[in-house]
Structure 1
Amino acid sequence: MAFTLGVLTDEISEDLQEAIDIAKSWGIDHIELHSAWGANVCDLSDADLSRALRIVRGSEVTVTVIDALTLRCSLDNDDEYAQHMRHMRRSIEIAPLFDASIVRLFSFWKEDEMTDEKWERVFEKLELPIRIAEAEGVTIGFENVSSGNIGTSQDLERLFGHFDSPALKLIWDPGNALAAGDDRSAADGYAAVRDHVVNVHVKDAGFIDGKRHWLPIGAGDVDYLELFLALAEDEYDGVVALETHYRPESGSRIEGSRESLEGLRAVIAEATS
């Protein structure tokens, strides 16, 4: 089967036009909007948002996700929470302008220890964005991250065991799960949450002296071959989006993404041969 590949544009360049032009030269016409010109898409001025719309429409690409930063904030800071709810409403306002149906959500900055009480506070504060999404008819793409409180597949099972909402879906990121200490493989983690997956982010990582390093796809500890075999078996028809985070010694985002894309395509070719 053929997988649909996408990319977060700022993994190539903060210049949106440059990022899209390069992505298209690589054969990618599905993009996610995280940041452009140094700002998250939800924080762009109206003038820059209009500029982004003109670029996207003129480039004939498909925007799959508005990669908002909603709830990348402290769990117990009510002022930050209110600000992030405004950020979420902005993401919902922006999404239809780009014909995107998915907006991203996180799980607050990671607490030192996730007690049952803290889990309850996380769930209590996730309630509002989930119900807003239901009311507005948009899909939340919840992304697991190591810097948040829900990073592993086990954490995700707890999340989806608590909430039963058609608006709550998953951006499965096996690289983030690895960085968060998930003891399952990428494929086993996916199997635990497959019913909720609406999008897949790919990055690779390895550990040197206990410190995480982002690496090109295929060069780290994430077993992507096993994952893509599982995705192919499930006939996964969503987007697989490159969010490499890897930077070569030159520091070039373009070269880092190009190198990771080559590794990604090599793994997919092996999985689908």
Structure 2
Amino acid sequence: MRWKLAAFADEIHPDPAPALDTMHAAGINTVELRSAWGKNVLDLTDEELAALAQEVARRTMTVAVIASPVGKSLITDPAAFQSARLDRALAIARRFGSWGVRVFSFYLPPGEPPERYRDEVLRRIEQWVHRAAESGITLLHENEKEIYGDIPHRCFDLLNSIGSPWFRAVWDPANFVRCGVRPFSTGFAMLAPFIAHVHVKDAVLGSGEVTVAGAGDGEIAETLAALATRGYRGYLSLEPHLLIAGSHGGFTGRTAFLTALRALRQLLEGIPAPS
């Protein structure tokens, strides 16, 4: 089989039409949906979602994952808001026929030990997973800097403790690097059984500068080779963040996006596809 590629269309352009055109022309026909027309996916109206669905269908493309911001709030904030946001994300996933919804494991109060909030993080996410399972949709935990699950051993703690096939890992090497971690060396063996989705972006240790795949310290070539050996069936989703790399999203632009895609394809040339 071939590697399956996807991309964040809003990395290319805030307007879905030119973004999807660029993806389609480049041979990527699967979208990870984070925003459109400058609005977060969860804030789109039903009419806007219908218009977006038409743009996707017109190009015979699909939306595999809803890249929601659910869980990107302080763990000390009330749980109800994020719970309602999850319900919206699941409804949008059902509308687009998406198999996964991205989530996060809450920002922690600065300077406080993560262990103090472990039980509450687990309690909230377990409730999410139960609701997602009822919808037949997998929740995909992304390792974001400064949330509970930002480094490998705490990601493992979440995934292993919840122990549900409806709760899997997004492997984001740049985010690990920005936490001071060499991803493959430190975390791959531990997290490999849980990885169901991969974000393709790289970064440099120390500075945190985001780069194209293979130009940073994300050990992406090693990871891809190991995924191939394991028979990985998920997507490699391009999220380059080459122009803007913030905690609430990123942007790359068309030209830099195509550069990032070429870098990924060059890496893949030397790695057999999963068998």
Change (3 A) 1:111 1:149: farther
- More displaced stretch, 144-153 vs 58-67: 144-153
1:107-118 equivalences in 2 (<5 Å): 107-112=105-110, 113-118=112-117
Structure 2 residue aligned with 1:101, among 84, 99, 102?
99
Q: Does 1:244 align with 2:259?
A: no
- Cα deviation for residue 135 of structure 1 reads 2.3
2:131 aligns with: 132
Q: Which residue of 2 aligns with 1:83?
A: 81
Distance 1:75 1:15 in 2: 33
Unmatched runs of 5 consecutive residues or more in structure 1: none
Partners of 2:223 and 2:155 lie apart in 1 by 17
Question: Counterpart of 2:229 in structure 1: which amino acid?
Answer: E
Structure 2: stretches of 5+ with no match in the other structure: 245-250
How much does 1:111 deviate?
Answer: 3.5
User: CA contact under 8 A between 1:114 and 1:149: conserved in structure 2?
Assistant: no
Aligned partners of 1:110, 1:61: CA distance in 2, in Å? 37
CA distance in 1, matches of 2:135, 2:106: 22
| Paired residues, number | 266
- The answer to whether the aligner puts 1:32 opposite 2:32 as a matched pair is yes
Secondary structure at the counterpart of residue 213 of structure 2: coil
Query: What are the superposed Cα offsets for residues 224-261 of structure 1, whole Å, 9 maximum, x if unpaired?
Result: 1111110111121211000111129xx85212211111
Counterpart for residue 52 of structure 1: 52
- Inter-partner Cα distance in structure 1 for 2:180 and 2:186: 14
Q: Report matched runs for 1:261-272 at 5 Å.
A: 261-272=261-272
Please give the alpha-carbon distance, in whole angstroms, between the structure 2 residues aligned to 1:252 and 1:3: 22
- Cross-structure match for 1:61: 61
Aligned alpha-carbon RMSD (Å): 1.8
Kindly state the Cα deviation for residue 83 of structure 1 after the two structures are TM-superposed. Answer: 1.6
- What is the TM-score of this pair, normalised by structure 2? 0.91
When residues 133 and 35 of structure 1 are mapped into structure 2, their CA distance, relative to the original with a 3 A threshold, is same
Contact kept in structure 1, 2:200 and 2:240, CA below 8 Å: yes
Kept in 2, the 8 Å contact 1:66–1:102? The answer is: yes
In 1, Cα distance between the equivalents of 2:50 and 2:5?
A: 26
The CA deviation at 1:72 is 0.6
2:254 aligned partner: 254
